[in-house]
Structure 1
Amino acid sequence: MNKRKAIVSLCALALSSLGFAQQNPVFPGWYADPEGIVYNNEYWIFPTYSAPYEQQIFFDAFSSKDLVNWKKHERVLDNNAVKWADKAMWAPSVIEKDGKYYFFFGANDVHEGEIGGIGVAVADRPEGPYKDLLGKPLINDIVHGAQPIDQFVFKDKDGQYYMFYGGWKHCNVVKLSDDFKTLLPFEDGTIYKEVTPENYVEGPFMFIRDNKYYFMWSEGGWTGPDYKVAYAIADSPFGPFKRINTILERDPKIATGAGHHSVIKVPNEDKYYMVYHRRPLGKTSAHERETCIDEMTFDENGHINPIKMTFEGVKHVLK
């Protein structure tokens, strides 16, 4: 048995040197809801620390030059910097603007009449430390039935920033002010627009490819095995979003509970990766979730092919 282990280790080492080692999960520890982004030609992942709500009072971040080797940055934001956040700090959405790095997050698993919801923090570097921008939530209220969680900040082609968000099977979009401190009205005077597609539960994400808006979301329950990701394509960031297909779901040979994702586009290439969380086989705790990356491809019609979950993850070092 020791000889066999030695052979396996040597093979793994050889494959690793070629960029073919097992890469999923991409870093150790229980982490969920990963937001992937490219800052200054470096890849970053900002996830939720997956634990009971009362323990979710900080965020770690991870950076990589090649999507394979990751460096951990501990507690880039915690509730010491956000005085109104007591628990359940979830699902970062991050973006750079004018040399500043902004970190949107949910906190407190807020219900009607409680303090919590979506906050904003800011830093001078991707690794922080981040400081609370407002001293209060940007969105505290429950509008159109959407719990203010799972925010995603999206920059449109004209430079306008929007934020999609919402749990409890409802999704809203709001228009952000230039300094991210307030919400602006749409042309019709409304502040919140509901854009909920069929089967939506939570975890919205959007990107543009070939001048089309790809809107993605998670379905099912995050605590169970049937969590999944679906998507729509529209000509506008406001939809209408007609559900096309499921593109990420459990694989009985790999993992269950696969969902709440983001997408990383390789700079200057038509190459995309889905960053998501999943639950290892044999694990049943709601909090046993790990962050993984697998390639996302398209067919000739621009539709997203179903994601094949792997243990290998990114198979080659990206230049």
Structure 2
Amino acid sequence: MAGMNLGYSLGLLACLAVPLTAAAADGIGHPAKQGENPIVRDKFTADPAPLVVGDTLYLYVGHDQAQGDEMFNMREWLVYSTKDMKHWKAHAPIMRVADFKWAKQDAWASQAIRKNGKYWFYAAVEHDDAHPGKAIAVAVADSPTGPFVDAKGSALVTNEMTPKGTHSWEDIDPTVFTDEDGTTWIAWGNRQCYIAKLKPNMIEIDGPITEITPPHFEEGPWLHKRGKLYYLTYASLDRTTQRDEHVSYATASSLAGPWTYRGLLTGPGKNSFTIHPGIAEFQGRWYIFLHNASLAIGDQNGAVGRRSVTVEYLDYNADGTMKPVIQTDDGVSVPGQR
């Protein structure tokens, strides 16, 4: 979940299905246009993960519920849907961290994927004392809006499975991708980035876990493919020159690598230490979802633990590299360049 290091490192230092309308205020009384950022304005949301199913894009997010100076208080996952990228429908929460009986807290970054007629949901949580540290859970549903239930009854990945890591919260931020041959891969990590195949049952790792950490990798990996190129996009942090997370990416001709670092894609989110990319092609356009901390709701301003999901157009150069993304307040309320 983009936000892990601040909670554990810098932190040591310091619904009903109803439409979201253009009339929703931006937290300071200004009416919002449809498609403007942030795209959800009545709740604090983070770590966006899009999934396209037919004519609908579903967006899975974590729900920031921090009060006052709290760091992260996340207990449930939400989903929104759209058919035009401007009008968003809120659905009931799809899961709570308490639904994983072996987990004790932290409904952190997630991603859902469709395979074999079902919807599989992978999420980062804090394991109970049986396996201390962060872990990755997997749930399943017959619908993209749930209800989701624990598919395994135990963690898919625990901290013991990545013993070369440097800290107990490295096993977070899962991203899942099914290749053209039908094989589904999962990547995840904080400071170290790991990748592995999933068995056809979607609830077990198939074979070795491989480290593929690209330059300045911090957390929040996202896998996608366009043409013949595979993309690994992630929250990055050059600790010698940067205070807040940026987004960088690497490309490869195979998910097994090697991965070629391509540099920065976008800068930090406004007022936010963390950032978390999610990428999808929808109705002939590519989009990148991010988060910042620009939203105010009532007397609560954006903060480390009160973030807001945004979306921007994503474009590519002729050689397959991605064009730099400028984060805007307008979002997709205005036409994007092609």
TM-score interval for Structure 1 and Structure 2 normalised by the shorter chain: 0.7 to 0.9
The CA deviation string for residues 46-71 of structure 1, in whole angstroms up to 9 with x for no partner, is: 01112447742211111111111111
Could you tell me the TM-score, scaled by structure 1's length? Answer: 0.83
Unaligned runs of 5+ in 1: 1-11, 186-190
Q: Percent identity?
A: 26
Distance 1:26 1:236 in 2: 34
Residue 261 of structure 1 corresponds to: 277
Quick one: which amino acid aligns to residue 228 of structure 1?
H
Residue 145 of structure 1 corresponds to: 165
Correspondence for 2:206 among 184, 197, 206: 184
| Alignment partner of 1:27 is 2:50 | no
Distance 2:311 2:243 in 1: 18
Q: 1:118 to 1:206 in 2, by over 3 A?
A: same
Residue 26 of structure 2 corresponds to: none
The CA deviation string for residues 76-120 of structure 1, in whole angstroms up to 9 with x for no partner, is: 111342112221111111001121111110101789941650010
Distance 2:129 2:174 in 1: 16
Residue 6 of structure 1 corresponds to: none
1:1-319 mapped onto 2 (5 Å cutoff): 21=34, 23-28=36-41, 29-52=43-66, 55-108=73-126, 113-114=131-132, 116-142=134-160, 143=162, 144-145=164-165, 147-167=170-190, 169-185=191-207, 191-220=208-237, 226-250=244-268, 256-257=272-273, 259-267=275-283, 269=284, 271-280=285-294, 285-315=303-333
Q: How far off its partner does 1:155 sit? A: 0.7
Q: How far off its partner does 1:288 sit? A: 2.3
Q: Are 2:273 and 2:304, in contact at CA under 8 Å, matched by a contact in 1?
A: no
Residue-pair matches, total:
290
Q: Which has the larger radius of gyration?
A: 1
Distance 1:86 1:183 in 2: 23
Q: 1:149 to 1:317 in 2, by over 3 A?
A: same
Distance 1:141 1:129 in 2: 28
More displaced stretch, 109-118 vs 46-55: 109-118
Q: 1:132 to 1:242 in 2, by over 3 A?
A: same
Quick one: which amino acid aligns to residue 102 of structure 1?
W
Residue 4 of structure 1 corresponds to: none
- Tell me the secondary structure at the aligned position of residue 192 of structure 2: coil
The CA deviation string for residues 238-296 of structure 1, in whole angstroms up to 9 with x for no partner, is: 22222211111137xx65546211101024x2x21000111228967311210000001
Quick one: which amino acid aligns to residue 53 of structure 2?
Y
Q: How far off its partner does 1:74 sit? A: 2.4
Q: Are 1:262 and 1:276, in contact at CA under 8 Å, matched by a contact in 2?
A: yes
Could you tell me the TM-score, scaled by structure 2's length? Answer: 0.78
Quick one: which amino acid aligns to residue 56 of structure 2?
E
Q: Are 1:258 and 1:279, in contact at CA under 8 Å, matched by a contact in 2?
A: no
Unaligned runs of 5+ in 2: 1-29
Q: How far off its partner does 1:225 sit? A: 5.9
Distance 2:126 2:57 in 1: 29
- Tell me the secondary structure at the aligned position of residue 192 of structure 1: strand
